[in-house]
Amino acid sequence: MTTPLLETHDLVKDYAIGGEIVHAVNNVSLSISRGEFVAIMGASGSGKSTFMNMIGCLDIPTSGTLLLDGIDTKSLDSDALAEIRNRKIGFVFQQFNLLARTSALDNVAVPLIYAGIGYAERRRRAQDKLEAMGLANRLQNTPAKLSGGQQQRVAIARALVTDPLMLLADEPTGALDTQTSLDIMGIFQKLNDDGITVVLVTHEPDIAEYAARRIVFRDGQVIEDAAVKSRRRASAT
Amino acid sequence: MKDLLASFAGWGVNVAIALTALRTNLMRSILTTLGVMIGVFSVILAVAVGNGAQVSVSQQIATLGSNMAIVVPQPDSGSGPPRSSDRGRLTERDGQAILREVSGVSAVAPQIRSSVQIVTPGRSATTQATGATPEYGIVSNITASEGRFLTQSDIGSAARVAVIGETVANKLFPDTSPVGETIRINRAPFTVIGLLESKGSNLGNDNDDQIVVPITTLRQRLLTTATQGPDDVTLIFVGFEDEDALLSGQKEIERLLRDRYRVAKGKINPFTVRTTTEIAETTGEVTQIFQAVLVAIASISLLVGGIGIMNIMLVSVTERTREIGLRMALGAKRSDIRNQFLVEAAVLCVIGGAIGLSLAILAASIFERIAEFPAPIGLDTAIMAVAFSAIIGLVFGGYPAIRASRLSPIEALRSE
């Protein structure tokens, strides 16, 4: 097998809160290969979000090593990290984080702006991804005119528009009802079947069951890392 | 090349983002722009008025005549007003001596000035009378547009004739030509022999509000205040052949007059010799200071406008912290975020600057028409306005933009 997509060695993130140092992530070593579907679980404050922020290059580790696609991120400056976020990672957030008063098409095209892609090409690619998400007739809708599920699909299209290696989804179903959550998980499973690596952060055990591998955090450390036994399938719409 | 195109496209995107953001808070954007608008408006108008003052002053200097020295019997008090107690003497014979002994002198025009009351049946006017000789016309470039100017025989016979300015003519003879009419100057009857060619007005000083009579006539008939001697004059205009002669002639006149009045060494001159060149320089300096003060005052409003921009940009950055975090997560570099907010500030400033410039052009043309005062706005001023607005945008938008770009992506994304 080739190098893992993601590798961490003794990854540590400390926060100083009220003069006391809190180890939000404490010596985590793990690796995620290409094509995996991983659910990161844990209670609030377990360190799962901090871990995800670090592997998403949004936050910088206090110590330890983080290799992303074979690149040691420690040596990278903020511009190089921005480029990694742009080219290799697609983010999906709980609150969708779409730009208000901006059409679905323009929202999806945003990452391409920072990739230096020209206007016509941006629109073409954004439209392709939105159509793949079943939103062909919603291109010009602003977020306010889209349902929660539709907004999250726009956000997924945006995450995919630069053809990243990995999707990082932070509680992507946290703001959605059960049926819509199921739809979204179906989309993730289908994308994963097509070869993209998906890393999902959730605190809901039944959502984690759609993943293939489950990593559980507690007090900044991994307490469980195993394949999901009875994996659920959701049919994508 | 491809990179360059991409970065150019990036700026276009930034303008689009900025316009969207500004439209979202339309009222706030308008109010912010208003500050820059008023600032640019007042700076441009101040420059225009200052330019106008300079144009006006140089026109005024031109009406004096060129290559001329003015001798007055007052000690040179520097920049302050002349002190009447130190008043010296100056006579027609001094004028003749200057013509005779100073090299390069083309003509000498001694004058007596006095305020007079003119009456015609049914009308009256108060104006300044200049008692002069035909040389006055030569030296200060004055001619009669109708009738004739003074001649030597008018002086010899102390003729009761007057050449009157247009303003005086309009007051006394609103409907008819004044030439040939009789007027009473300080009760004495005079015949109007000519109309002075109009020299217009500058800085509120009407050059046409005067009359010219023979110096002899004025001395004999019109002088109300007693002078020290029979041929005392108020001032002498000395015309020179060229500028070089003027420069050396100024010193020669001073030396000659010191001799004639036996001024002891070390004592200051009881007279002043000013050249038109000096007057032009001094008034030029004065109007430049005038302009600088105007522009400085106007710049304060521009500064306030700039602070308004900074204030709004800081609010905008704070409000959109989450958006900044999102954009960073999607791959925006620090420079992308910085440029986005710089462009937003620049768009505000350029719009404000453009409106301010347009209003200033409008105001200047209204001003020119109503106040009859030139306020030219040249291309250089327009370019300056645009540059000013851009600089304001960069300076006052710079700090908020840099602050936005320094945000940590995760902190920004977490903010509410």
User: Of A58, A102, A118, which has the smallest distance from its Cβ to B20's Cβ?
Assistant: A102
Whether B313 is in a domain gets the answer yes
d(CA A176, CA A160): 20
Range of the domain at B361: 14-60+282-414
d(CA B23, CA B16): 11
What is the per-residue pLDDT for B222? 77
User: Of A99, A111, A118, which has the smallest distance from its Cβ to B331's Cβ?
Assistant: A111
Note the pLDDT tens digit of each residue in A105-143.
999 999 999 998 888 999 999 999 999 999 999 999 999
Whether A40 is in a domain gets the answer yes
Same domain, B79 and B178: yes
Domain boundary among B207, B239, B270: B270
Query: Is the Cβ pair A86, B330 closer than 8 Å?
Result: yes
Q: Is pLDDT of B219 > 90?
A: no
Same domain, B86 and B119: yes
Whether A75 is in a domain gets the answer yes
Whether A90 is in a domain gets the answer yes
User: For residue B66, what pLDDT band results from cuts at 50, 70 and 90?
Assistant: confident
What is the per-residue pLDDT for B213? 93
Domain count, chain B: 2
Whether B5 is in a domain gets the answer no
Best mutation target, B15, B320, B330, B411, to test chain A (most A CBs within 10 A): B330
Same domain, B258 and B123: yes
Range of the domain at A53: 6-99+164-227
Whether B275 is in a domain gets the answer no
Whether B258 is in a domain gets the answer yes
Work out the average pLDDT over B332-353. 90
Angle at B253 between CA B250 and CA B258, to 5 degrees: 130
Angle at B253 between CA B249 and CA B256, to 5 degrees: 135
**A-proximal residues of B, 300-339, CB under 8 Å:** 322-323, 326-336
- Cβ atoms of B165 and B173 within 8 Å: the answer is no
User: Of A86, A93, A118, which has the smallest distance from its Cβ to B331's Cβ?
Assistant: A86
Domain boundary among B270, B303, B321: B270
d(CA A32, CA A77): 24
Give A-chain residues touching B323 at CB under 8 angstroms: 99
Alpha carbon of B328: minimum distance to chain A alpha carbons (Å): 7
Query: Is the Cβ pair B331, A53 closer than 8 Å?
Result: no
Work out the average pLDDT over B152-168. 91
Alpha carbon of B323: minimum distance to chain A alpha carbons (Å): 7
Nearest-10 crossing angle of helices A178-193, A148-160? 20
Q: pLDDT per position in chain A (237 positions), as tens?
A: 568 899 999 999 998 888 888 899 999 999 999 999 999 999 988 999 999 999 999 999 999 999 999 999 998 999 999 999 999 999 999 999 999 888 999 999 999 999 988 889 999 999 999 999 999 999 999 999 999 999 999 999 999 999 999 999 999 998 899 999 999 999 999 999 999 999 999 999 999 999 999 999 999 999 999 999 888 888 644
Same domain, B232 and B136: yes
Q: Sign of dihedral through CA atoms B85, B86, B87, B93?
A: positive
Q: Sign of dihedral through CA atoms B157, B158, B160, B162?
A: positive
Q: Which residue of B has its CA nearest to A53?
A: B410
Identify the CATH number of the domain in which residue A176 sits. Answer: 3.40.50.300
What is the per-residue pLDDT for A126? 96
- Cβ atoms of A221 and A50 within 8 Å: the answer is no
CB atoms within 10 A of CB A26: 18
Q: Phi and psi at residue A213, in whole multiples of 5°?
A: -135, 140
Same domain, B259 and B300: no
For the record, the structure tokens of A131 come out as: 């159509």
What is the per-residue pLDDT for B263? 83
Q: Is the model more confident about B170 or about B201?
A: B170
Whether B33 is in a domain gets the answer yes
What is the per-residue pLDDT for B236? 92
Q: Which of A32-41, A69-78, B228-237, B296-305 has the lowest mean pLDDT?
A: B228-237
Domain boundary among B249, B270, B291: B270
Alpha carbon of B340: minimum distance to chain A alpha carbons (Å): 12
Q: Is pLDDT of B279 > 90?
A: no
| The three-state (H, E, C) secondary structure of chain B, written as one string | CHHHHHHHHHHHHHHHHHHHHHHHCHHHHHHHHHHHHHHHHHHHHHHHHHHHHHHHHHHHHHHHCCCEEEEECCCCCCCCCCCHHHCCCCEHHHHHHHHHHCCCEEEEEEEEEEEEEEEECCEEEEEEEEEECHHHHHHCCCCEEEECCCCHHHHHCCCCEEEECHHHHHHHCCCCCCCCCEEEECCEEEEEEEEECCCCEECCEECCCEEEEEHHHHHHHHCCCCCCCCCECCEEEEEECCHHHHHHHHHHHHHHHHHHCCCCCCCCCCCEEEEHHHHHHHHHHHHHHHHHHHHHHHHHHHHHHHHHHHHHHHHHHHHCHHHHHHHHHCCCCHHHHHHHHHHHHHHHHHHHHHHHHHHHHHHHHHHHHHHCCCCCCCHHHHHHHHHHHHHHHHHHHHHHHHHHHCCCHHHHHHCC
Residues 6+ apart with CB under 8 A from B59: B200, B202
Give B-chain residues touching A58 at CB under 8 angstroms: 328-329, 409-410, 413
Whether A222 is in a domain gets the answer yes
What is the per-residue pLDDT for A237? 47
Same domain, B187 and B122: yes
Work out the average pLDDT over B213-232. 78
Whether A173 is in a domain gets the answer yes
Give B-chain residues touching A85 at CB under 8 angstroms: 328-331, 409
What is the per-residue pLDDT for B78? 55
User: For residue B79, what pLDDT band results from cuts at 50, 70 and 90?
Assistant: very low
Same domain, B88 and B213: yes
Whether B9 is in a domain gets the answer no
Q: Does A43 touch chain B (CB under 8 A)?
A: no
Alpha carbon of A236: minimum distance to chain B alpha carbons (Å): 25
User: For residue B4, what pLDDT band results from cuts at 50, 70 and 90?
Assistant: low
Same domain, B212 and B325: no
Same domain, B21 and B103: no
Q: Does A97 touch chain B (CB under 8 A)?
A: yes
For residue A98, the 8-state DSSP code is P
Strands B68-72 and B182-185: unpaired
- How many residues in chain A? 237
Same domain, B242 and B168: yes
Work out the average pLDDT over B257-283. 83
Mean pLDDT, rounded, of chain B = 85
Whether B125 is in a domain gets the answer yes
Domain count, chain A: 1
**A-B C-beta contacts closer than 8 Å:** 70
Whether B65 is in a domain gets the answer no
What is the per-residue pLDDT for B321? 93
Q: Is pLDDT of B20 > 90?
A: no
**A-proximal residues of B, 337-366, CB under 8 Å:** none
Query: Is the Cβ pair A114, B333 closer than 8 Å?
Result: yes
SS3 A62: coil
Q: Which residue of B has its CA nearest to A155?
A: B330
Residue located via tokens 């489950």? A214
What is the per-residue pLDDT for B76? 67
Same domain, B223 and B301: no
Work out the average pLDDT over B106-116. 90
What is the per-residue pLDDT for B86? 52
Residue located via tokens 């006579």? B91
Work out the average pLDDT over B22-42. 87
User: For residue B134, what pLDDT band results from cuts at 50, 70 and 90?
Assistant: very high
What is the per-residue pLDDT for A208? 93
Note the pLDDT tens digit of each residue in B379-397.
888 888 778 788 888 888 9
- Cβ atoms of A213 and A228 within 8 Å: the answer is yes
Whether A133 is in a domain gets the answer no
Same domain, B264 and B288: no
Q: Which residue of A has its CA nearest to B410?
A: A58
Q: Which residue of A has its CA nearest to B320?
A: A99
